[in-house]
């Protein structure tokens, strides 16, 4: 931005405590260079200050912004992004001078690792495990399907502004339901199909009943029991998938598992001849 000689002397007087002006040789054209933090003057070749505007590079820091930034509080900074006070327009001179005299310059802000920040948020959440309910509820029956149902928690979303000015949005949702049925079988399901019987699709067939040690060793039917289990330990796991967006589109973070184990007894139904 070019300034007339009269504008330069006024600006230099007020800005002398903030910037170091170049030496002025006679009359010339002067302007404030925020990037260098000083007043720049050019000899006009004699006779009055020039009035032709200086060509400003597209990436020049000519726009003045104010913000609130720790540890100084309210402060100002220069940017090449349009929208702030344009220092190439002399109409803004008084406003710019007021700001740079009144406020401190903002400290530099390091670029934040958005993925690391997103992971910290994702890991901090109290992600729910499944709440499995079995049908039949009292005990399963060998050779007939036992159904597992569980509600699916809603998607979690959080947004915050990072110190570097970007908005970070983090999201977590249940992407998978894994079930270990306790007899060596493991399956994975879409969590949406874990509905109660008869619409649910998360089910399993057991072929051996479960018995306590006394029944297993002494009862005539003890040989039909599972050789070691008094109940099947069913482990249900929600796989929570995390993702984040810091202005460049959604990016996958990874997954976190949340599990719960319940004991499930399985009996045997045997036909008996009557009469």
Q: What total of structural domains would you count in the chain?
A: 2
How far, in Å, CA of 197 to CA of 180, rounded?
A: 19
Residue with tokens 């996958």: 252
Residue 178 shares a structural domain with residue 59:
no
- Residue 246's closest CA among 143, 167, 157, 175? 167
- The answer to whether the beta carbons of residues 8 and 41 sit under 8 Å apart is yes
Tokens representing residue 234 in the block: 């069913």
Backbone angles phi, psi at 74, to 5 degrees: -65, 135
Backbone angles phi, psi at 7, to 5 degrees: -65, -40
CA torsion angle 182 184 190 192 (round to 10)? -20
Residue 219 shares a structural domain with residue 189:
yes
Residue 63 shares a structural domain with residue 134:
no
Give the β-pairing of 140-141 and 145-149.
Answer: unpaired
CA torsion angle 44 47 51 54 (round to 10)? 0
C-beta atoms surrounding 267 within 10 Å: 15
Residue 96 shares a structural domain with residue 47:
yes
What is the pLDDT at residue 80?
84
Residue 96 shares a structural domain with residue 29:
yes
Residue 69 shares a structural domain with residue 130:
no
Q: Is residue 250 part of a domain?
A: yes
Extract the residue ranges of the chain whose pLDDT is less than 70: 1-59, 270-275
Residue 132 shares a structural domain with residue 214:
yes
- The answer to whether the beta carbons of residues 211 and 226 sit under 8 Å apart is yes
138: containing domain:
114-267
Q: Is residue 273 part of a domain?
A: no
Per DSSP, the three-state class of 129 is coil
**Which among 36, 67, 102 is the end of a domain?**
102
Per DSSP, the three-state class of 9 is helix
- Digit-coded pLDDT (tens) for 15-52: 433 333 333 334 445 555 555 555 555 554 544 444 44
- pTM of this prediction? 0.64
Q: Is residue 274 part of a domain?
A: no
Residue 258 shares a structural domain with residue 181:
yes
DSSP state of 198: T
Tokens representing residue 91 in the block: 């109409």
Residue 48 shares a structural domain with residue 165:
no
Per DSSP, the three-state class of 59 is coil
What is the pLDDT at residue 107?
87
- Residue 209's closest CA among 183, 179, 180, 235? 183
């Amino acid at each position: 931005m070019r300034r007339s000689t009269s504008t330069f002397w006024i600006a230099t007087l007020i800005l002398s405590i903030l910037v170091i002006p170049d030496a002025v040789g006679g009359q010339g054209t002067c302007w404030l260079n925020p990037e260098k933090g000083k007043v720049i003057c050019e000899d006009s070749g004699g006779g009055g200050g020039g009035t032709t505007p200086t060509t400003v590079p597209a990436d020049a820091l000519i726009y003045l912004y104010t913000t609130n930034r720790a540890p100084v509080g309210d402060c100002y900074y220069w940017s090449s992004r349009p929208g702030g006070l344009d220092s190439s327009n002399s109409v803004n001179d008084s406003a710019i001078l007021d700001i740079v005299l009144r406020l401190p310059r903002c400290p530099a802000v390091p670029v934040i690792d958005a993925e690391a920040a997103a992971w910290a948020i994702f890991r901090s959440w109290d992600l729910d495990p499944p709440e499995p309910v079995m049908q039949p509820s009292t005990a399963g029956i060998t050779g007939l399907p036992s159904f597992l149902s569980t509600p699916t928690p809603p998607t979690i979303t959080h947004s915050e502004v990072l110190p570097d000015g970007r908005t970070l949005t983090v999201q977590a949702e249940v992407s998978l339901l894994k079930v270990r049925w306790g007899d060596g079988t493991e399956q994975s399901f879409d969590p949406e199909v874990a509905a109660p019987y008869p619409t649910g699709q998360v089910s399993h067939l057991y072929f051996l009943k479960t018995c306590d040690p006394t029944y297993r060793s002494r009862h005539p039917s003890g040989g039909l029991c599972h050789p070691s289990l008094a109940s099947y330990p069913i482990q249900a796991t929600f796989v929570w998938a995390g993702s984040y967006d810091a202005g460049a589109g959604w990016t996958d973070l990874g997954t976190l598992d949340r599990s719960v184990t319940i004991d499930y007894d399985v009996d045997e139904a045997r036909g008996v001849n009557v009469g």
